[in-house]
Structure 1
């Protein structure tokens, strides 16, 4: 029997994580460890300066489920310590897409990357949403098509594994996708947002600051952002956690000399 770990960065009460459990519950024993609260944009942060606390949560279809007051990376580490090994780690289904090299900021993608550092294949899956129509933990969001693609990909990875050199699949599903929507294997776009800081003034006249980002609207063909935003396809980006540049090391040494 396969052992599957599911986590996310939206929190254990997100409807997306319940949709993920429902999608793969008959493919193996499903364990859930996810943050107790929203931890988006936490990257691969770990909690090292205080103890972690865990709470048993009822998640239908899961063998056991814990909410952890830590980050998505903490959740993977906790699960491996508590339940030993897994055949697959799924992170998601995330509310909102995770595109471009900015997946290094994403808690969703980072949880799958953490699993990969332990030799476990990962799938990070995100669903594009209309934030004007999305409430709370995913109220009003239809996860059925994203669940369809997740089940399809999870089954394939469990049965056939990932190709050599691929550690994680970063998946993004358009909000208007159907089960017949085409899948495009892509590379990461260079960036999705151009961040800056916006200054505002509080009622007492003191400044405070928001990190905000202006979206890039033009993307190069072949990238995840182009596939999702322009072609309206399901983007699947194979990710390798070895970020060493594929260059002639001699050229780098020559520059340093």
Structure 2
């Protein structure tokens, strides 16, 4: 069977991660290496100033003590997979969306980024959730169906992207029967607001707590007529966005050269 390495940024006991394992265990041998605690919005960070320790939960299931998603992938590939790398890395299912510029903050997306840096086909998958406080009864049905179909297609026909590129998938919060299918999308233009909330602790000391931004966006102008990840999800599609690690702005090279002269 094929082999898949799973990680996330919500922690090893996340319902999204366990749903991902359940969705893919019939078509691949699964190994999980996930952070011991929530690492949301940690970005593509590696832990360079502290030791890291694997804690075995069960067979082929480890938590990395205070590690980031990138730590999980990096160490797993260099310790658990010394002889042969996994066929695929899947990071998620994240509890909340990862669209637009949010992907630069996302630990979930960083897990996929770390995978393709090491030359392994990788996918990040996130579930739009309107109320995270009511996650207990959520069954991830559309997300599980979607990732099963997409991974099956990858195994049957090969990964559709070149080196150092990965798939970023976002699932709308609807039933499978309500889904309009898949939509290939571009990364949307995320709109941020001030969510730095000031409070005072019992000792009278002030502090700030960063809150969640409302899910607001604009569609990008190019290419004309192409939906963004935000637009597709809002219309009931599963969004699949190809992401490249090459952030060079090629369209500005000539103008920048003229400016420098």
- For 2:103 and 2:121, locate their aligned partners in 1 and report how far apart those are by CA, in whole Å: 17
Report how far residue 46 of structure 1 moved.
0.9
Q: Is this contact kept in 2: 1:129–1:141, CA < 8 A? A: no
Report how far residue 172 of structure 1 moved.
0.8
- For 2:216 and 2:63, locate their aligned partners in 1 and report how far apart those are by CA, in whole Å: 36
- For 1:139 and 1:192, locate their aligned partners in 2 and report how far apart those are by CA, in whole Å: 29
TM-score, normalised with respect to structure 2: 0.88
Q: Is this contact kept in 2: 1:45–1:71, CA < 8 A? A: yes
Match of 1:245 among 249, 253, 261: 249
Matches within 5 A, 1:14-163: 14-58=14-58, 64-69=60-65, 70-84=67-81, 85-131=85-131, 133-134=133-134, 138-159=135-156, 160-163=158-161
Q: How many residues align?
A: 249
Counterpart for residue 236 of structure 1: 240
Quickly say closer, same or farther: Cα 1:141–1:192, change in 2 above 3 A: farther
Quickly say closer, same or farther: Cα 1:194–1:157, change in 2 above 3 A: farther
Query: Which ranges in structure 2 are unaligned for 5 or more consecutive residues?
Result: 220-225
- For 1:132 and 1:108, locate their aligned partners in 2 and report how far apart those are by CA, in whole Å: 17
**What RMSD in Å do the two structures reach over aligned CA positions?**
1.9
Match of 2:165 among 167, 170, 177: 167
TM-score, normalised with respect to structure 1: 0.90
Quickly say closer, same or farther: Cα 1:132–1:154, change in 2 above 3 A: closer
- For 2:142 and 2:240, locate their aligned partners in 1 and report how far apart those are by CA, in whole Å: 15
Quickly say closer, same or farther: Cα 1:6–1:172, change in 2 above 3 A: same
Query: Which ranges in structure 1 are unaligned for 5 or more consecutive residues?
Result: none
- For 1:101 and 1:165, locate their aligned partners in 2 and report how far apart those are by CA, in whole Å: 22
